[in-house]
Amino acid sequence: MRHRPTQLAAGLAIPPLRTLRSSFTTQVKRMFKVFIARANIEKFNELISKENDPEKKALLKELLTREEDKLAAALIAISQTGTADEA
């Protein structure tokens, strides 16, 4: 069975529930990625400040850079869809 948008007055349409649910799930996943990346960035910064071994510090900085990249990508995805207030 094919789902079609419900037509309202003035030509407005309500998308099918399946579409709304999918869109909501995508938004939640994006916001979750932002939350996790921010938490990881905070933790890596904390670990870097406490670490004395230069090799371990370099590894933590690399992991920090990757998390910052993930955060940037998640925020760009959110901004392009205009779906999150917390960005």
Mean pLDDT per 10-residue segment, the chain (87 residues): 55 64 80 95 97 97 97 90 50
Supply the pLDDT for residue 34.
Answer: 94
Supply the pLDDT for residue 84.
Answer: 45
Supply the pLDDT for residue 21.
Answer: 67
Q: What angle do CA 63, 64, 68 make, to 5 degrees?
A: 120
Supply the pLDDT for residue 15.
Answer: 61
Supply the pLDDT for residue 86.
Answer: 41
Supply the pLDDT for residue 27.
Answer: 82
Q: What angle do CA 72, 74, 80 make, to 5 degrees?
A: 100
Both structure tokens of 47: 């670990």
Domain layout of the chain by residue ranges: 18-81
17 Cβ contact list (under 8 Å, min separation 6): 3
Supply the pLDDT for residue 82.
Answer: 60
